[in-house]
């Protein structure tokens, strides 16, 4: 019988997972949890604090350990500030932890700058949610370029869909380094949706946060924050929402992004409109509660496009293009831009025509099945 000595045991791979915003944290949570539990990795988590308060909410909710906190957020920060501070902060973390792999997620400036920092130290990068493309470098801005920079640096590419893989192959990425896994946001959504369903007290507490909700009216959930909509787009969205609210059989819930380019317009245009409730940005669990109870969603968010098919709710995407076209192709989402007539005609059709509504809700979610994180960790360990 051969007894393996400690020196014969395979060494743990040192994995550094970096994120800085609420969407990244939500999508990294299941991957980080899988990595922390895996005997093949010594995992450390670094947060940049690109979004401080919203990021901290997710850290508290998920109980993820934070080993390094760059705490970069400043009032009025610019893309120049974020990039420079992430690069400088990452240099110290990389020198201290000396990771074998740096993992980044998605398309934020944190992801791009952290990947670049790893490249400067010649540390291989794993890119989660790789390969999404709008094929318009200015939309979404700066996310489209951020994601492409991360892709050019990364060694391993975890693509959520076959189309994302095809985008990477078309750009010259070695297919052997691309792994189609599904999107980790579905893992997170299904985890917390089940948590809400299983906990009656939690349901009651979440319901009590929204006492103004009228169960006799169809709830339309709205989110909007994209930079490309600042130049008139938010105004047009507000115009369409005022018309929809006048129907009387709907109630519109709009968690308003704190960016002055959004809030400054929305407060003026919609502040006193009947059937419209402007609320503060919600923590994740209350937002999941709203997603579960809404009739449909109007959004310019990427993550919401991915999540809603798993809850059986149609999505009208208030953008002219999307780096997530799989939902449009599958029929779970529809591009309406910020054109007032398109928003109204599509929303009214879903409100008035049950066949049209069912046509968008009885679809398979093209973005994943809730097991993406396990696939990512297993593939990463197999190929490092």
Catalytic-labelled residue, pool 227, 242, 293, 363:
227
Query: Mean of the pLDDT values across residues 193-211?
Result: 95
Q: Given pLDDT bands bounded at 50, 70 and 90, which one contains residue 6?
A: very low
Question: Per the domain annotation, does 190 fall within a domain?
Answer: no
Same domain, 178 and 260: no
Catalytic-labelled residue, pool 22, 38, 85, 143:
143
Question: Per the domain annotation, does 191 fall within a domain?
Answer: no
129 carries an active-site annotation: yes
pLDDT at 4: 42
Same domain, 112 and 26: yes
Q: Token digits for 367?
A: 């973005």
Same domain, 154 and 87: yes
Question: Per the domain annotation, does 237 fall within a domain?
Answer: yes
Same domain, 240 and 337: yes
Same domain, 342 and 286: yes
The predicted-structure confidence for 51-76, as pLDDT tens digits, reads as follows: 898 899 999 999 999 999 999 999 88
Same domain, 234 and 306: yes
Same domain, 177 and 206: no
Q: Given pLDDT bands bounded at 50, 70 and 90, which one contains residue 10?
A: low
263 carries an active-site annotation: no
Catalytic-labelled residue, pool 257, 319, 324, 375:
257
Q: Given pLDDT bands bounded at 50, 70 and 90, which one contains residue 17?
A: very high
Same domain, 275 and 357: yes
pLDDT at 2: 44
| Contact indicator for 60, 147 with CB cutoff of 8 Å | no
The predicted-structure confidence for 19-54, as pLDDT tens digits, reads as follows: 999 999 999 999 999 999 999 999 999 999 998 988
Residue 282 phi, psi dihedral angles, 5° rounding: -90, 150
How many degrees, rounded to 5, is the angle at CA 189 between CA 311 and CA 267?
A: 80
Same domain, 50 and 104: yes
CATH of the domain at 334: 3.40.50.2000
Domain of 37, in residue numbers: 12-183+369-383
| Contact indicator for 227, 300 with CB cutoff of 8 Å | no
| Contact indicator for 142, 109 with CB cutoff of 8 Å | yes
Residue found under tokens 């790789």? 130
Q: Token digits for 318?
A: 């208030």
Query: Mean of the pLDDT values across residues 227-237?
Result: 80
Lowest mean per-residue pLDDT among 3-17, 151-165, 199-213, 267-281:
3-17
Q: Given pLDDT bands bounded at 50, 70 and 90, which one contains residue 300?
A: confident
The predicted-structure confidence for 84-108, as pLDDT tens digits, reads as follows: 999 999 999 999 999 999 999 999 9
51 carries an active-site annotation: no
269 carries an active-site annotation: no
pLDDT at 1: 37
pLDDT at 229: 66
Residue 199: is its pLDDT beyond 50? yes
Question: Bridge partners of 218?
Answer: 250
Residue 3: is its pLDDT beyond 50? no
Catalytic-labelled residue, pool 129, 306, 307, 323:
129
pLDDT at 322: 87
Question: Per the domain annotation, does 189 fall within a domain?
Answer: no
Nearest to 300 by CA among 322, 279, 283, 278: 322
| Contact indicator for 181, 159 with CB cutoff of 8 Å | yes
227 carries an active-site annotation: yes
Same domain, 147 and 206: no
Residue 350: is its pLDDT beyond 50? yes
Question: Per the domain annotation, does 194 fall within a domain?
Answer: no
Question: Per the domain annotation, does 331 fall within a domain?
Answer: yes
Question: Per the domain annotation, does 148 fall within a domain?
Answer: yes
Residue 328: is its pLDDT beyond 90? yes
pTM, full prediction? 0.89
Q: How many domains are contained in the chain?
A: 2
What average pLDDT is seen over the chain?
A: 93
Check residues 54 and 143 and name the one with the higher pLDDT: 143
Query: Mean of the pLDDT values across residues 121-145?
Result: 95
Same domain, 164 and 32: yes
Same domain, 129 and 218: no
326 carries an active-site annotation: no
Query: Mean of the pLDDT values across residues 343-349?
Result: 98
Query: Mean of the pLDDT values across residues 355-378?
Result: 93
Strands 41-47 and 296-299: unpaired
Question: Per the domain annotation, does 193 fall within a domain?
Answer: no
pLDDT at 230: 67
Distance CA 370, CA 373 (A): 8
């Amino acid at each position: 019988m051969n007894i393996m000595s400690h020196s014969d045991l395979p060494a743990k791979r040192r994995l550094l997972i970096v994120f800085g915003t609420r969407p990244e944290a939500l999508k990294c949570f299941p991957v980080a949890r899988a990595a922390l539990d895996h005997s093949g990795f010594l995992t450390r988590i670094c947060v940049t604090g690109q979004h401080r308060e919203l990021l901290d909410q997710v850290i508290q909710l998920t109980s993820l350990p934070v080993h390094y906190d760059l705490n970069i957020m400043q009032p009025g920060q610019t893309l120049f500030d974020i990039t420079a501070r992430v690069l400088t902060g990452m240099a110290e973390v990389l020198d201290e932890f000396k990771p074998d792999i740096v993992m980044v997620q998605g398309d934020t400036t944190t992801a791009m700058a952290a990947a670049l920092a790893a490249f400067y130290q010649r540390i291989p990068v794993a890119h989660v949610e790789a390969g999404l493309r709008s094929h318009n470098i200015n939309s979404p801005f700066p996310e489209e370029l951020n994601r492409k920079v991360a892709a050019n640096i990364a060694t391993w590419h975890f693509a959520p869909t076959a189309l994302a893989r095809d985008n990477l192959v078309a750009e010259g990425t070695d297919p052997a380094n691309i792994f189609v896994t599904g999107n980790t946001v579905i893992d997170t959504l299904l985890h917390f949706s089940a948590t809400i369903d299983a906990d009656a007290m939690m349901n009651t507490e979440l319901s009590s946060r929204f006492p103004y909700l009228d169960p006799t009216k169809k709830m339309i959930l709205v989110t909007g924050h994209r930079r490309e909509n600042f130049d008139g787009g938010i105004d047009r969205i507000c115009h369409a929402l005022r018309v929809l609210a006048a129907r009387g059989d709907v109630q519109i819930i709009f968690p308003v992004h704190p960016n002055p380019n959004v809030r400054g317009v929305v407060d003026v245009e919609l502040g006193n409109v009947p059937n419209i409730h402007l609320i503060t940005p919600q923590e994740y669990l209350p937002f999941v509660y709203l997603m579960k109870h809404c009739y449909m969603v109007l959004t310019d968010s990427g993550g919401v496009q991915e999540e809603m098919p798993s809850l059986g709710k149609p999505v009208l995407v208030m953008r002219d293009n999307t780096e997530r076209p799989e939902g449009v192709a599958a029929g779970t989402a529809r591009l309406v831009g910020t054109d007032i007539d398109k928003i109204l005609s599509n929303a009214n059709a879903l409100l008035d025509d049950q066949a049209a509504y069912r046509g968008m809700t009885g679809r398979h979610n093209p973005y994943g099945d809730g097991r993406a994180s396990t696939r990512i960790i297993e593939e990463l360990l197999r190929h490092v």
